[in-house]
Structure formats: structure tokens, C-alpha cells
């Protein structure tokens, strides 16, 4: 048994005399066998050494009848040449073929079937997926081809700017950031066939980022408080004054529009405060919420309290204080000026209580 195995393995060893034939799936391939004289043809045989199958002896094929004319055929071209032709080769036809005269090898062919790339698995299955910020993600593309394929990953952001980020079947991101949103494309190529690709669009979801513009001139009417909200998905926005929800009414108007901030889809909400019999002083809060959380920002609108002097002495002290304050704000501070201002404040407080 061992001797038979050794003989068999010796038959299938590739040698330098083997002719290499390469073909794509679906092409036709011909193996030619040359011999010395016509009387030898009955002792000729074609073998598929890789599978151990004897394909023919003499001019007779040993195949299933359905394959004899559709897949393989013996063609005698001359008195000393016999061809074995395989029509529309497939992956199972690859391997070593020999033409034998009794035990003598007359010719041998190593048939390599080139298989164009095709995906055998990929993840995720959907073309578009969403993940919360901070979560991990694994993208994978597995492809088969002969020769084997190389997998390259290309990332494209919202501006269609692209860069190569990985070579290999799998890509892993341990903690997603909002800037990771974009298209991830895996490209499979083997240098012989057309490349194939698979794209995944990843959307990174995050809770609202809320920011109120604090540089507001409350002397300009109507007063406008601007709030900028960025989030995925978009948030529900509400305004509050001193903790009480504000709705559109006579003195309050809320306008919300879509804007782009740092390449992100955001919202701009503007609270417009119209003149009313009573000033709408208080704390104004812009609050946004989506399923990942709710956040807010606020600004305080207060009246400017200016003391009203009761006597001439108070008027004189207040005038000195205001003059000194202006001098301090328009020049470099000194310990002497700070001491004088501190004394004047004490004098004014004493005058108010007299």
C-alpha cells in the first residue's frame, strides 16, 4: 500500500517539463499529445493527475455521457497528434494533466484556472449603519479569487475627500468619534481581473452640543438670543425663561433653521424678544434633546442698577467715584488709585445710610 502511494505521489509531482496553461473560467483549453506512429494511439491515455481520474484511453473518453460532448472532446489532428479539448473550464478543471503511452509520460500540462474576485462574506450586511459615539465597530470584507486578492480600505468624508486607511480584510475602530462618520469602501483586487468593491456608510450618532452666543447687545431691539445645536440625530429644541417653557406668543418668537457648522448638519434657533410693558429680565435657557441625552446652555438678562443719590454730598461722592473709575479703566492701575477708590466706596455707603 505504501509503495503504491509513493508511486502515485511521484506521478503528480510537478516538473520543469510541465507546461503551464492559464485560463479564466469559461474559456476553452486544449492539451496536445504527440507520439511516434499511429499504431501507438490505442495505448495513449489522458489523465487528470490531481484527481486521479483517467479521462481517456485511445480514442474513447471515460466520462459521464452528459459531459462527453459538452465539456470534453478528443480531437485527432494528424497521424501522430491527439488533442484533449475542455470547453468552458471551471474551477474543478484546474490541476495537472498528463498524456501517457503505457507508463511513459509524453506530455504534461499544469492548468491554472484564474477566478475573478468575488465577495464570500462581509459585515455589516447593510449598506448604511449607525452607531453611538464612543462605541466600537468592526468592518470586514472577505473575498475569494485566484490568484488571491488584496483588500484595501478607502475612507471618504462628507466632502468626498478620500484616504487609504487600512490594508487587510478587517478594520476595527475601538471608540467612534463624530468625525468618523463617512463612507468606508473595501476594494478587492488580484492584479489580473477587474477590482470589486463594497461600501458601507457609517453615521456616528452623538448627543446635542448646545452653545448660546454670549456676545449680545441687549440695547438693540428686538433682542435676539442665538443658540447653535449640533447632534445626530437632530434634536428637539425648547426655550425656557426662569425655568418656564417659552412658546411663540406676542412678545416671544422662536425661529429655527438648518445650518452647516464645521461640515456638520446643525440647527440654529433664535429667540426674538419684542418690547413689552415690562422688561423680560431673567435667565434664558436653550435646551436640546435626542435619544442619546439632553443638554442646554443659558444666558442671563438683567437690568443695570444705577444708584440714585439723595443729597448733594452723595452726588459729589458719586461723581468723584465715576471719574476715578473712568481714569482707572483708561490707564494702568496703581495701588494708590485702588486705595482711593476703596475709600470712596466706603464714603458713599456711609452717605447712603445717613
pLDDT above 70 for 318: no
Predicted local distance difference test score (pLDDT) of residue 344: 62
Q: Are residues 256 and 317 in the same domain?
A: no
Q: Are residues 148 and 217 in the same domain?
A: no
Average pLDDT of 124-147? 94
Predicted local distance difference test score (pLDDT) of residue 246: 93
List of residues 6+ apart from 180 with CB closer than 8 A:
173, 202, 204
Write out the DSSP string of 181-217.
Answer: -EEEEEEEE-SSS--EEEEEEEEEEEEEEEEE-----
Q: Are residues 50 and 66 in the same domain?
A: yes
More confident site: 286 or 304: 286
Q: Which of 175, 206, 237 is the last residue of a domain?
A: 206
Q: Are strands 282-290 and 19-24 parallel, antiparallel or unpaired?
A: unpaired
pLDDT above 50 for 12: no
Q: Are residues 271 and 342 in the same domain?
A: no
Which CATH number does the domain housing residue 136 bear? 2.60.40.10
Number of domains in the chain: 4
Predicted local distance difference test score (pLDDT) of residue 351: 54
CB atoms within 10 A of CB 262: 8
pLDDT above 60 for 311: no
More confident site: 183 or 158: 183
Domain limits at 333?
Answer: 312-353
pLDDT above 70 for 65: no
- pLDDT tens sequence across 42-58: 999 999 999 999 999 99
Asked whether residue 10 is domain-assigned, the answer is: no
Highest mean pLDDT among 3-7, 118-122, 246-250, 329-333: 118-122
Asked whether residue 6 is domain-assigned, the answer is: no
Please, are residues 192 and 176 in contact by the beta-carbon 8 Å criterion? no
Range in 117-131, 192-206, 218-232, 321-335 with the lowest mean pLDDT: 321-335
Asked whether residue 5 is domain-assigned, the answer is: no
Predicted local distance difference test score (pLDDT) of residue 74: 93
**Cα separation values, 241 from 274, 284, 294, 312, 321, Å:** 14, 5, 17, 41, 35
Asked whether residue 8 is domain-assigned, the answer is: no
Q: At what angle do helices 312-330 and 335-353 cross, to 10 degrees?
A: 160
CA–chain centroid gap for 143, Å, is 19
Whole-number percent of the chain with pLDDT over 90:
63
Q: Are residues 200 and 256 in the same domain?
A: no
pLDDT above 80 for 193: yes
Give the helix/strand (H/E) hosting 316: helix 312-330
Asked whether residue 7 is domain-assigned, the answer is: no
Q: Note if the bond before 162 is cis, omega within 30 degrees.
A: no
Average pLDDT of 189-207? 94
- pLDDT tens sequence across 207-257: 999 999 999 888 888 999 999 999 999 999 999 999 999 988 889 999 999
Q: How confident is the model at residue 275 (pLDDT cuts 50, 70, 90)?
A: confident
Q: Are residues 178 and 231 in the same domain?
A: no
Q: Which of 88, 115, 142 is the last residue of a domain?
A: 115
Q: Are residues 168 and 191 in the same domain?
A: yes
pLDDT above 60 for 34: yes
Q: Are strands 104-123 and 19-24 parallel, antiparallel or unpaired?
A: parallel
Asked whether residue 44 is domain-assigned, the answer is: yes
Q: Are residues 94 and 171 in the same domain?
A: no
Predicted local distance difference test score (pLDDT) of residue 47: 94
Q: How confident is the model at residue 181 (pLDDT cuts 50, 70, 90)?
A: very high
pLDDT above 70 for 353: no
Q: Are residues 243 and 259 in the same domain?
A: yes
Asked whether residue 54 is domain-assigned, the answer is: yes
Please, are residues 157 and 114 in contact by the beta-carbon 8 Å criterion? no
Predicted local distance difference test score (pLDDT) of residue 8: 37
Asked whether residue 50 is domain-assigned, the answer is: yes
Q: Are residues 107 and 137 in the same domain?
A: no
> Considering only CA atoms, which of 162, 203, 159 is closest in space to residue 180?
203
Q: Which of 84, 115, 146 is the last residue of a domain?
A: 115
Amino acid at each position: 500500500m505504501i509503495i503504491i502511494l509513493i508511486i502515485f505521489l511521484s506521478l503528480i509531482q510537478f516538473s520543469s517539463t510541465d507546461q503551464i496553461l492559464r485560463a479564466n473560467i469559461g474559456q476553452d483549453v486544449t492539451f496536445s499529445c504527440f507520439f511516434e506512429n499511429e499504431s501507438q494511439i490505442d495505448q495513449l491515455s489522458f489523465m487528470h493527475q490531481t484527481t486521479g481520474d483517467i479521462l481517456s484511453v485511445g480514442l474513447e473518453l471515460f466520462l459521464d455521457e452528459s459531459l462527453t460532448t459538452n465539456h470534453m472532446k478528443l480531437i485527432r489532428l494528424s497521424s501522430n497528434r491527439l488533442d484533449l479539448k475542455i470547453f468552458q473550464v471551471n474551477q474543478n478543471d484546474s490541476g495537472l494533466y498528463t498524456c501517457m503511452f503505457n507508463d511513459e509520460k509524453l506530455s504534461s500540462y499544469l492548468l491554472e484556472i484564474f477566478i475573478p474576485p468575488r465577495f464570500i462574506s462581509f459585515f455589516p450586511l447593510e449598506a448604511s449603519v449607525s452607531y453611538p459615539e464612543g462605541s466600537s465597530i468592526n468592518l470586514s470584507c472577505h473575498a475569494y479569487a485566484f490568484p488571491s486578492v488584496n483588500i484595501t480600505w478607502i475612507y471618504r468624508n462628507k466632502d468626498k475627500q478620500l484616504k487609504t486607511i487600512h490594508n487587510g480584510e478587517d478594520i476595527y475602530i475601538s471608540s467612534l468619534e463624530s468625525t468618523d462618520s463617512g463612507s468606508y469602501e473595501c476594494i478587492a483586487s488580484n492584479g489580473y481581473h477587474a477590482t470589486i468593491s463594497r461600501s458601507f456608510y457609517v453615521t456616528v450618532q452623538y448627543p446635542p452640543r448646545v452653545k448660546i452666543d454670549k456676545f449680545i447687545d441687549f440695547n438693540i431691539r428686538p433682542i435676539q438670543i442665538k443658540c447653535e445645536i449640533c447632534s445626530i440625530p437632530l434634536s428637539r429644541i425648547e426655550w425656557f425663561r426662569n425655568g418656564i417653557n417659552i412658546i411663540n406668543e406676542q412678545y416671544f418668537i422662536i425661529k429655527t433653521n438648518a445650518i452647516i457648522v464645521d461640515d456638520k448638519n446643525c440647527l440654529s434657533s433664535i429667540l426674538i424678544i419684542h418690547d413689552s410693558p415690562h422688561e423680560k429680565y431673567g435667565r434664558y435657557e436653550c435646551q436640546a434633546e435626542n435619544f442619546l441625552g439632553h443638554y442646554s446652555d443659558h444666558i442671563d438678562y438683567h437690568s443695570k442698577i444705577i444708584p440714585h443719590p439723595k443729597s448733594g454730598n452723595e452726588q459729589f461722592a458719586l461723581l468723584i467715584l465715576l471719574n476715578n473709575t473712568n481714569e482707572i479703566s483708561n490707564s494702568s492701575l496703581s495701588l494708590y488709585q485702588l486705595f482711593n477708590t476703596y475709600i470712596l466706596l466706603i464714603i458713599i455707603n456711609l452717605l447712603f445710610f445717613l
